Structure 1
């Protein structure tokens, strides 16, 4: 399955700043082609690429004052290999973190999901968060955590992911946060999901039910949103003037001119970018 992902960010830099951008597909993603530019008038920046332990790619530059335009586009084909998770990594994803206070939701999780393990636990937590939280763009804040979302019952994708992660960790299942591109997502934006570690593999949980998990493209992985911000800066002052994110599944070559088109392949391609094509019950890994 071939997917195209794009991101456009226009920033206004009010004072020289140390800028860190995290919008590129992760190191392990099978990228066929990629363009990534940082331009400011006639100036073209060459950022420093930093790759963290999970394969997330951070691009860092020292930006001067003025309008900075960031453009990213990549074509992804095939499935991402899944390296073995070390014991140390699994342990780190059992611990409470900034936005996923598993220690504070411990009692609730133990009462609500008592006796559940493995696939049953993943399904129960996913269903609970999906049915108890209302998707409300613009009403949550960047400082909201899993505890906040459990109290208010509202949030966006990052909030859903934080609650899932906190509850799973409280039940002794390693869980982590993943930022992704999501073909077919409505409204289109960067997307956040949770991943649960079960039987030696990471399985994706999208409690928003807004994406099809089979077509997700990984950007970053971490303990929570603090590790996966698409933009951060130190010193200076930056404002986001415009942002446009898009992602879609490419038609097969034979579908373009109509010759030798495989109706079944076309159906599978369309289903891969349609949230309705994901029943959210099977265990799925990010492709």
Structure 2
């Protein structure tokens, strides 16, 4: 599948600000960036640095006043897709070293708080079957409500309120997977089917020796997502991290299917 992606950001800063951006589709084996263009308004500094686990890139920039960004790309998705996730969990003692950190609790994903729940609710299931059941349980019991969460909302908060946006749904699924002994991380993506269209966040679980994208909102399919970056939780994949107050003027993301 080939995706056409555009993103426009327009923010205002009152003071000189260091800004970390992560919004370019990653150059990785499962997807080919056939064309891309990034235009940033007047800035004092620009440097690309590797993303988490060397997946994708981040950009350091320094801005005074207005920050405008226009990004466009054409990305061919070559990902091996197993929509049913009919895959076994890898025994803990056989997990590759790079996956171990994604078994641990993190800032927004205190997975140790969910052990009893996953045992009671999903104890009869394992591997991909358990992941699909957890995804469907979240989709059935949670409401997608823009504005229902903020930068401090954790998976526990979302689990209690039963409402949130894509990052909140992903955080809960990540917690449930980690509490089940399945490595799980967050992935920022551009995806077809997201409504309202924006930067999207999904879970990525390690099953059958490979990572698989799973969207607990069920708005996007694994084969129709272009990965931007990955991390322990949303703190690692923000499209913009500003170290001074920033004020939104405009933001728009579009993703279309090119065939």
TM score, norm. by length of structure 2: 0.89
Asked if structure 1 preserves the Cα contact closer than 8 Å seen for 2:26 and 2:33, the reply is no
> Bigger relative contact order, structure 1 or 2, given CA contacts below 8 A and separation 6+?
2
1:16–1:35 CA distance, 2 compared to 1 (3 A): same
Corresponding residue for residue 92 of structure 2? none
Corresponding residue for residue 38 of structure 1? 40
Between the aligned partners of 2:256 and 2:46, the Cα distance in structure 1 is 27
Corresponding residue for residue 62 of structure 2? 62
Asked if structure 1 preserves the Cα contact closer than 8 Å seen for 2:109 and 2:233, the reply is yes
Asked if structure 2 preserves the Cα contact closer than 8 Å seen for 1:18 and 1:62, the reply is yes
3-state secondary structure, aligned to 1:144: coil
Provide, for residues 89-108 of structure 1, a one-character-per-residue CA deviation record: whole Å limited to 9, x for no partner: 21111000111111111111
Aligned pair partner of 1:126 in 132, 135, 146: 135
Q: Does 1:203 align with 2:215?
A: no
Asked if structure 2 preserves the Cα contact closer than 8 Å seen for 1:38 and 1:45, the reply is no
CA RMSD of aligned residues (A): 1.9
Asked if structure 2 preserves the Cα contact closer than 8 Å seen for 1:2 and 1:76, the reply is yes
Between the aligned partners of 2:80 and 2:121, the Cα distance in structure 1 is 35
Provide, for residues 152-195 of structure 1, a one-character-per-residue CA deviation record: whole Å limited to 9, x for no partner: 00011000000000011001011110010012321111111111
After the TM superposition, which residues 1-287 of structure 1 pair with which residues of structure 2 at under 5 Å, given as runs?
1-28=1-28, 29-40=31-42, 47-52=46-51, 53-64=53-64, 66-79=65-78, 87-234=96-243, 236-251=244-259
Between the aligned partners of 1:27 and 1:77, the Cα distance in structure 2 is 11
Q: Which contiguous aligned blocks of 4+ residues in structure 1 show a shift greater than 3 angstroms?
A: none
Asked if structure 2 preserves the Cα contact closer than 8 Å seen for 1:175 and 1:196, the reply is yes
Corresponding residue for residue 89 of structure 2? none
Asked if structure 2 preserves the Cα contact closer than 8 Å seen for 1:16 and 1:237, the reply is no
- Give the Å deviation of 1:81: 8.6
- Give the Å deviation of 1:46: 6.0
Asked if structure 1 preserves the Cα contact closer than 8 Å seen for 2:77 and 2:223, the reply is no
3-state secondary structure, aligned to 2:14: strand
Equivalent residue pairs, number: 244
Between the aligned partners of 1:23 and 1:8, the Cα distance in structure 2 is 10
The structure whose Rg is larger is 1
Asked if structure 2 preserves the Cα contact closer than 8 Å seen for 1:27 and 1:51, the reply is no
Corresponding residue for residue 284 of structure 1? none
Asked if structure 2 preserves the Cα contact closer than 8 Å seen for 1:54 and 1:221, the reply is no
Question: Any unmatched runs of 5+ in structure 2?
Answer: 82-94
Between the aligned partners of 1:45 and 1:32, the Cα distance in structure 2 is 29
TM score, norm. by length of structure 1: 0.81
Between the aligned partners of 1:31 and 1:61, the Cα distance in structure 2 is 23
- Give the Å deviation of 1:239: 1.6
Between the aligned partners of 1:123 and 1:62, the Cα distance in structure 2 is 42
